[in-house]
Amino acid sequence: MPKTESNAVPLGTKAIEFSLPGPGGREVALADYADKPALLVAFISNRCPFVLLLREEFAALARDYADKGLAVIAINANDADAHPEESLDRIAAEIRDQGYGFPYLKDGSQEVAKAYRAACTPDFFLFDADRRLVYHGQFDDARPGNGKPVTGADLRAAADAVLEGQTVAAHQTPSIGCNIKWSAGNEPGAAQRAA
């Protein structure tokens, strides 16, 4: 199965503001969580085997850390025209079926994914209280077919550190997953290549 690694994004990068719709048309913005001491922005999918492997544990992590102050926002940026299973209707079903207790939003223009330099699903961006990037790595070392348990150990360790006011380890293993399904001609860098 093809694999894409997350892009190198410098730690300390500031979170970029956005407002995106979830099922039912409710818009959710980054600014809605300004009072939270930590924020996780996760680019995920309804169909990618790498996300399917960890989605139950991802939902559990969000539940476990909600009372500790971690806000979670999931974003689906995949082209829903070419991949109907990535539509808002399917996002609504995924929220219900997986028990996601956090907003799961649709980036139909793919502009937010581009702004964050997201490359794969899953792609995790953990920000501190100042909304500076402190972790951009893997959930854990489980992969489809490798037999390792899904624990969220890497992301949990990073969340623990930021919530305890400690420095997150600088060595971070990139996330690996399915590439984001860009709309035709909308791939990052497409405008520069066409010019």
Q: Is the pLDDT of residue 24 over 80?
A: yes
Cis before 122? omega within 30: yes
pLDDT exceeds cutoff 70 at 48: yes
| pLDDT at residue number 1 | 60
- Quick one: average pLDDT of 178-188? 93
Residue 194 pLDDT level (bands cut at 50, 70, 90): very low
Q: Where are the beta strands (DSSP E) in 107-180?
A: 120-121, 123-127, 133-135, 176-179
For helices 49-66 and 88-98, give the axis angle rounded to 10 degrees. Answer: 60
> Domains in the chain, ordered, with CATH?
4-194 (3.40.30.10)
Residue 16 tokens, joined:
């970029």
**Average pLDDT in the chain:** 94
Q: What confidence tens digit (pLDDT) does each residue in 116-154 have?
A: 999 999 999 999 999 999 999 999 999 999 999 999 999
d(CA 64, CA 130) in angstroms, rounded, equals 22
Percent of the chain scoring above 70 in pLDDT: 96
Top-confidence residue, 189 or 30: 30
Per-residue pLDDT tens digits for 60-81: 999 999 999 999 999 999 999 9
Q: For a pLDDT cut of 90, what percent of the chain falls above it?
A: 92
DSSP state of 46: S
